[in-house]
Amino acid sequence: MLTLTGFGLGCLVSLFLVSWRDFRHLWVGKVFLVIIITSGAYLLDPLMPADWRWVTSDLQTAVPALFWALCQLVFARHPKLVSVWGAMALYSFAAPALSRPFIEAGLWPEWGVYLGWTLGQWFEYVIVLHGLSYVVRHWRNDLVEARRKARLALLLILGSAVGVAIISLNFGIYHDVTRGVVVALAALAILLCIISSREGLLKLVPQEKPAGDLQPQEPAAQAPRELQAETGNDDAHKLAEIMANGFYKKEKLTLKQLATAMGIPEYRVRRLINQTLGYRNFNDYINQLRIAEAAERLVQTPEEPVLNISLDVGYRTLSSFNRAFRDITDTTPTAYRQSRCTEKLTG
């Protein structure tokens, strides 16, 4: 047991040092570093003195919530940490930590034990499964092949380790050796994954916009016609043609749907959009086309309601359109229309 614990700790320390060096400036990196610390608590829990075991017990309880937060930060363009799922994640470790002294002292009735302990355990399963479902649903949107595979491998390895850990702890079906095996194998696999795909993983999240740049930006009108310059590329011609016909306006458009419509494999569409057009995320590409058309219509048809334009270019709600428009232009659709119409009148 001590040998496995030592090996696991060595892997965790190495993983912590590499992650600190490369990812500490990212929010996703900060969460990952905390996960490494809580994994160390899980590993060391059996060796802790009885009077101090509550520290490692409370820390290891936070692993499922941190894993869920990591999935959000890696795959969601707009992470929804403040949500019902976020509340469940918070409850899963806060409630057991606060109620532990009373439950261990036998001061709480059965319903108190359920609310303070059992319910939190059920929430652990729910948020881990939700985090993994987020990985499966959104990983295809990443157009950089090496990074996409590295992300998926990293999170599935971590998710599997977290799942084994919480099931073994909650059902009492583990031996202390299990901790060393789970932590050592997961830490070693993730460490190798990070080392082999370092450059791709460094781009896990978009770079922050420069501070102080408050000028509204013109949407990059990278319309479908730009692909026509690729005269020797049949795939580019197909993409240009289908987008020129407004395929990007299709609601809830996926890369798979686009590949089917073009009649070519999905990996070729991904490579075309990434290597030819320079996009790293499929949704960024589609949003760019939609917002380019919306911006043009906002100016050309100043009396047309913003809601109508948002629905016409493929957004299901006005809020999602406003969010995408602000991401690209740094301003709202209404403010953009007012500024451009004023320019036309004064020009």
Could you read off the pLDDT of 239-274 as tens digits, one per residue?
A: 989 999 999 999 889 898 999 999 999 888 988 888
Q: Give CATH superfamily name and number for 224-346.
A: Homeodomain-like (1.10.10.60)
Q: What are the angstrom distances between the C-alpha of 217 and each of 202, 305, 325, 331, 332?
A: 27, 22, 10, 8, 11
Structural class in CATH, domain 2-201: mainly alpha
Reported confidence tier of residue 210, pLDDT bands at 50, 70, 90: very low
The two counts, helices (H) then strands (E), for the chain are: 17, 0
- Taking the whole predicted model, whether its pTM rises above 0.85 is answered as no
pLDDT at 294: 93
Distance CA 260, CA 242 (A): 11
pLDDT at 157: 84
243: three-class secondary structure by DSSP? helix
pLDDT at 207: 43
User: Where do the structural domains in the chain lie, given as residue ranges?
Assistant: 2-201, 224-346
The answer to whether residue 200 scores a pLDDT higher than 80 is no
Helix ranges, 76-175 (H): 84-104, 110-113, 119-138, 145-171
Reported confidence tier of residue 57, pLDDT bands at 50, 70, 90: confident
pLDDT tens per residue, range 75-87: 776 778 889 999 9
Name the nearest CA neighbour of 269 among 245, 293, 285: 285
Distance CA 233, CA 169 (A): 56
Mean pLDDT of 293-321: 91
